[in-house]
Chain A
Amino acid sequence: MTVGHDPTGTVLLDGVCAVEDAEPLLQMLQANPAATVDWTGCRKLHTAVFQVLLAAGITPVGPCGDPWVAQWLGPKPRQGELG
């Protein structure tokens, strides 16, 4: 399980977030659309998981633990901010 909650209710993305993590993440965000998402512990982010964050308009906390994502897609998933 790489998608979980910490005691304060923050959604944690941890370790390798693979394609199958997209659905539990989506369910958590559906249950609480205003949830804080912390992705500093995520070592590798799958596109499907990223897409859920993008669709939910979530700005995760901190730099992403996946360095490539942190550099290119952080600090938050960009949704046409250049347009």
Chain B
Amino acid sequence: MSALQEQFVTEARDLIRQATDDLIALERAGTSPERLDGVFRAFHTLKGSAGVVELPAMSMMLHAAEDLLVGVRGGTLRANAEIFDAALACLDQVSHWVDDFEAGGSLPAQAGADGRAMAERLRSFLPAVEARPPAPAGQNVAVGGGDDELSEWATRLLAADRDRIMSRLPEQPSMLTVVSYEPIAGCFYNGDDPLQLMRQIPELLDIEVQPREAFLPLAEIDPYACNLRLRAISAGDRDMIADIFRLVPDQVNIFAMPPGVLVTAPAGAESANQTLIRKVIEAQCELLRVANRGDDFTGCTGAAARVATNALRHGRHLQLAETVARAGALAVAQHDAGPVLATLERVLAELAVERSPGIAPQVGDRSGDMIVDVADRPTERVLRVSETKIEALVNLAGELLVAKNALTHTARRVEQEFGGSDAVRSVQHDRDTLDRLLTELHGTILQLRMVPMTQLFQSFPRLMRDIARQLGKNVALVTRGETTEADKAIVDRLFEPMVHLVRNALDHGVENPVQRRAAGKPEAATITIAAFRVADRLMVEVADDGRGIDPEVIRRKASERRILPAEDLAALPDDRVVDLVFAAGFSTASAVSDISGRGIGMDVVRAAIEQIGGRVSLETRVGVGTTVRLDLPMAIAMSRIMVVETGGQLFGIAMDAVSEALRVTPDRIRRIKNNLGFVLRDRVVPIVSLAERMNLPGGARDATSARLLVVLEAAGRIAALEIDAIRDRLDVVLKPMHGLLAGARGYAGTTLLGNGEVLLVLDMREILP
């Protein structure tokens, strides 16, 4: 796939998302011109890009969608749910095709037929007779005076290029059309070719292409940022020209101007040409004054008259030219330059009179370049870097960190051997500097992977709309904290769990409109998705204002599904009972529905969240609503581990799982059924010997000495791991198990220690009973 095609895929996905968001917002909040423009521009850009990568089926379908949107924007069509459905379905089709294109470099064989079917569906909303919609209502249309500055420009251009223009005109036009087109800077990326639009202007009379702002030095120019203002004058029909520019109405100013300016052009304007004519005549006057004083210089007089006549003809001062020509002939006949000089002086005076009213608008307020009807959009520039490159950088930084740990190790050995010398202090100092810089480097690189939650949240409006329609529920989505940033790896992995949560909220949490009315709630339910930071944790909440979870219902279901023995259930406090929805095989829906409730919802959510180092909790009040909170790490690249020793071997334990480490005297340890355990703050905690689990020699332990225990909590279970010693605490980049070890159970991954040893990091969920 070429770079262009890759860029198309990335951009198309962005545009699809943006258009989807805007469409849903439009449907919910009613028509807003800005949103509609946004949708329109997204469709237009998509169409252009599809053309660039040569996907005609996509272009054709999007063209139909564009026409539909033009109708909506122009007010000839009223947007209804069916139109929104069709537009969204069109985007779905584009999305599928983009996936196909990315996978195979082409569209599926039936793309043409599918595209035509979709185009027909889209066009079915358009009035049957209307082949093409009229000029969009938003277009800047002015007849007559139009934009003062622009009409002045047009007058100037007409006056200056009058001969050229007149020669092209078969007859006096009834109306002229003036176009000023300022393409947006990013127009090339949209597939626009502004000159291509100008080429289509019929009966073109003149054109001018200028930089909108002074060009930067060549070395700093961005060749793909359009900085042009294109202006044209045409004798063609204004509506026809407006139709050419119908897809860029926000960038163009088109107005009709009476052609009178062509006839009386010189009267209205001072141009370079006029100045030249005046200068030519003045020069002839100078010449004749010299000639008149001295010799009879007939040849000179005749030549001066001819030059002045030609100059005046050139400037369309036909009457004046005639006068000068007659005076010239008379002067030559009389051998006297006087009549010609007098005539020329009179002509100069007349030209000066004509000139003065023309000057007025010029000396008026003309500060800099004008901007015609172009919204002031600062162009946001984003550098796209492939994820694999960032990954490589993160890995390198991780390796550097390991190398630094090795240096720490060496520094310690050097200190032990040669303690106290200057060289040792110098090594330590350098290590500290390296340490600081590396920490900074690592932090900066991780920042590269930080993405706003927007990426995640923006999928939900569409999802909610479809599910809510399917369920016949009226739900508004509120999102908060979209700008909260988190590691891309985290954000990417949140999508599936969040979809489960939102589906659950819609299906089980939110009541139907009748129930809501009966409960005295507004008919439209609200689902809130929020993201925020608490210290170095990322919190994501999905909250609904629905019926809440009734602990009694949960108890009944749990006992039906034998999640817990009946007596345990009865003893469990209400707030713990609701946590049972996270138990495997639990589904609160009485009937398994299409939306959720296959009994795989919440336990899958918990598993997915714990896998990335997060925790799930749930708060609910009957009749008020339910909030599910995901407590997540900001990044998963770095793990803080505790290095423990048992049976002469080192193991890593994720610090996330460790709640405390303590020594317990043998008298506190009890045998409970087959296991050892001890009571910690009124809770019985089972003891697991790591040596036994790992089949390592337990070591001679004398019965009276205290045992070292690390209390671990993971996957909702608690246990104390018995170990021989705690060695270290490290920040490491955890690498998953590769190759032969990939299938090994019980390990979360490996990392390199400072001395080059490989440390196995334990997967607590596998280790705990």
Which residues on A sit within 8 Å (CB–CB) of B227?
51, 55
Q: What are 13 A-B residue pairs whose CB atoms fall within 8 Å in the complex?
A: A19-B188, A22-B188, A23-B223, A47-B196, A48-B188, A48-B193, A51-B226, A54-B211, A56-B218, A77-B209, A79-B210, A80-B208, A80-B210
Question: Within 8 Å of chain A (Cβ to Cβ): is B4?
Answer: yes
The number of chain B residues with a CB under 8 A from chain A is 31
Which residues on A sit within 8 Å (CB–CB) of B209?
50, 54, 73, 77-78
Which residues on A sit within 8 Å (CB–CB) of B196?
46-47
**Known contacts being A72-B207, A73-B207, A82-B208, is A52 close to B223, with CB within 8 Å?**
yes
Closest to A55 in B: B215
Shortest Cβ distance from residue A38 to the other chain B in the assembled complex, whole angstroms:
19
Which residues on A sit within 8 Å (CB–CB) of B226?
47-48, 51
Cβ contact within 8 Å between B224 and A19: yes
Question: Within 8 Å of chain A (Cβ to Cβ): is B475?
Answer: no
The number of chain A residues with a CB under 8 A from chain B is 28
**Known contacts being A48-B223, A77-B209, is A82 close to B156, with CB within 8 Å?**
yes
Closest to A45 in B: B195
Cβ contact within 8 Å between B223 and A47: no
**Known contacts being A19-B188, A56-B218, A68-B199, is A82 close to B224, with CB within 8 Å?**
no
Docked complex: A34-57 residues within 8 A CB-CB of B? 45-48, 50-52, 54-56
Which residues on B sit within 8 Å (CB–CB) of A10?
none
CA distance A35 to B287 in the complex (A): 44
Cβ contact within 8 Å between A47 and B224: no
0 or 1 for each of A6-37: is its CB under 8 Å from B? (1 = yes) = 00000000000001101101100110010000
Could you say which of A51, A52, A82 contacts B160, with CB atoms under 8 Å apart?
A: A82
**Known contacts being A54-B209, A72-B204, is A47 close to B195, with CB within 8 Å?**
yes
CA distance A45 to B209 in the complex (A): 14
Shortest Cβ distance from residue A72 to the other chain B in the assembled complex, whole angstroms:
5
Interface of A toward B, CB cutoff 8 Å: 19-20, 22-23, 25-26, 29-30, 33, 45-48, 50-52, 54-56, 68-69, 72-73, 77-80, 82
Cβ contact within 8 Å between B272 and A82: yes
Cβ contact within 8 Å between A46 and B211: no
Closest to B157 in A: A82
CA distance A80 to B272 in the complex (A): 12
Question: Within 8 Å of chain A (Cβ to Cβ): is B228?
Answer: yes
Cβ contact within 8 Å between A26 and B221: yes
0 or 1 for each of B124-166: is its CB under 8 Å from A? (1 = yes) = 0000000000000000000000000000000011001100000
CA distance A56 to B211 in the complex (A): 12
Which residues on B sit within 8 Å (CB–CB) of A25?
223
- Among B157, B221, B271, the one with the most A-chain Cβ atoms within 10 Å of its Cβ is B221
CA distance A50 to B208 in the complex (A): 13
**Known contacts being A19-B224, A47-B228, is A29 close to B218, with CB within 8 Å?**
yes
